[in-house]
Structures are given as C-alpha cells and as structure tokens.
Chain A
C-alpha cells in the first residue's frame, strides 16, 4: 500500500459526459502528479500540483483540468469525453524527492 488513494476505482460513462477523479496523496506529501495510461502504453504525464499551485504541465488536453485543494487532495476533471479518453488514470505523490508513489488508479471507460 503506497498510502496514495484514488476514487473511484472504476468509472463507466458515455461520450460527451464529464467526470471527476479524486486523489489523496500520502500523508505529508505536498506534490500530486496525474498520469494517463492507455491500453498497453506507457505512462503519460498530465499535470503536477505542489501545495495547491500548478507546477508542471505535460500533454494534458484542454478538455482536462485539475486542481489541488487546501487539504492537498487533488481532482482531475475530464469533460466532453471521447472514446479515446478511455484509460487508466493514476495519481502519484511525493515530498520533493525524485521518487513518486502511485495510487491504485481509476479505470475510465467511455462508451
């Protein structure tokens, strides 16, 4: 158990819809990272937050947004969903060192 929690575990929705994925980092970690992993693909970095502020951006679509709240949990919002958005979405956290600790992921299926 990495100490990072993500909800929900599974999400099934339709094209055009909007969903919110939630992540709670390890206790004491200020940074949260979001990744997308499509079938049989590597991890694509989406965005990083540090103590409530956006720190780095990767290949995140304009339809996607994220935020980190004062209690340090983070939410990833995906809107106008398309079939190709079906993937595993992971969040990870760390306390500033190089190592990141990953949550169990949310599997999103868009029908």
Chain B
C-alpha cells in the first residue's frame, strides 16, 4: 500500500537548535500536509503545501514541497520547549489521508 517514510524517527536536540526532518514517498502526492501532535492530544495542522517547489512558512516553521512531488521537508528554527511532540507528514489519496509514522522531537534541558 501507499507509504510515507519519515526520517528521522526521533531527534534529541538542545533548545535553540534548528531542526530538519523529511518525508518521502514512492509515488507522487499533489498535496503535502504537516501535523504536530502534543502528548495525549489530537494532531494539529501546521502547514499545507499544494504546489511542487512551494516553500511555506508558519512562524519558525518552514516546509517545502519537493520538486519531484515525492518528498517534503519541515524545518524548525531556534527550537523552544513547546516544540516537543510528534510531527507527522501526510498526503491525501483516494478520499483518505496517508500518514507517515512521525518524527518524535525531544528537547534536552
């Protein structure tokens, strides 16, 4: 079936560092979505990308729709403690949304 592969699976960083994560697929997506899930909460949409090559920012977050339409990247600048959580990429497919398994972000004290 369709799969979205996210890497890394988890990250341990210091507060203030920049973060990069990515999501790849063996097939093309026409929309890429990035969600964040806080512990015990539902995922919240961070950024939606609709066009190959598109670069979109939301505060300290920047996401890019890969030119091949088979990948997407999420960057977080100057991380803060509230960035802790799981980041999911997702893409619509046949009335469903396919989710990656997530990148778990930890911030070291």
Residues of A within 8 A of B (CB): 2, 4, 33, 41-43, 45, 48, 50, 55-56, 58, 88, 90, 92, 98-105, 107
In the complex, what distance in Å separates the CA atom of A41 from the CA atom of B92? 20
B side interface size, CB within 8 A = 21
A101 touches B45 (CB 8 A): yes
**CB of B7 to closest CB in A, whole Å:** 14
Q: Which residues of chain B are within 8 angstroms of A107 by Cβ–Cβ distance?
A: 40
Q: Which residues of chain B are within 8 angstroms of A56 by Cβ–Cβ distance?
A: 94-96
B48 touches A104 (CB 8 A): no
A103 touches B42 (CB 8 A): yes
In the complex, what distance in Å separates the CA atom of A90 from the CA atom of B94? 20
Residue in A4, A50, A99 with the greatest tally of chain B CB atoms within 10 Å? A99
B96 touches A105 (CB 8 A): no
A98 touches B95 (CB 8 A): no
Residues of B within 8 A of A (CB): 31, 33, 35, 40-45, 48, 88, 91-92, 94-97, 99-102
User: Contacts A42-B101, A43-B43, A92-B42 given; 9 further ones with Cβ under 8 A?
Assistant: A43-B99, A56-B96, A90-B43, A98-B97, A99-B33, A101-B45, A102-B43, A102-B44, A107-B40
Q: Which residues of chain A are within 8 angstroms of B45 by Cβ–Cβ distance?
A: 99-101
In the complex, what distance in Å separates the CA atom of A107 from the CA atom of B39? 12
A98 touches B99 (CB 8 A): no
Q: Which residues of chain A are within 8 angstroms of B42 by Cβ–Cβ distance?
A: 2, 4, 90, 92, 102-105
Q: Which residues of chain A are within 8 angstroms of B35 by Cβ–Cβ distance?
A: 102
In the complex, what distance in Å separates the CA atom of A55 from the CA atom of B92? 14
7 nearest A-B pairs in the assembled complex, by CB-CB distance: A102-B42, A98-B92, A42-B101, A98-B31, A43-B99, A102-B43, A56-B95
B96 interface neighbour in A58, A88, A103, Cβ under 8 Å: A58
Q: Which residue of B lies closest to A35 (CB)?
A: B99
Q: Which residues of chain B are within 8 angstroms of A99 by Cβ–Cβ distance?
A: 33, 45, 48
B97 touches A45 (CB 8 A): yes
**CB of A11 to closest CB in B, whole Å:** 14
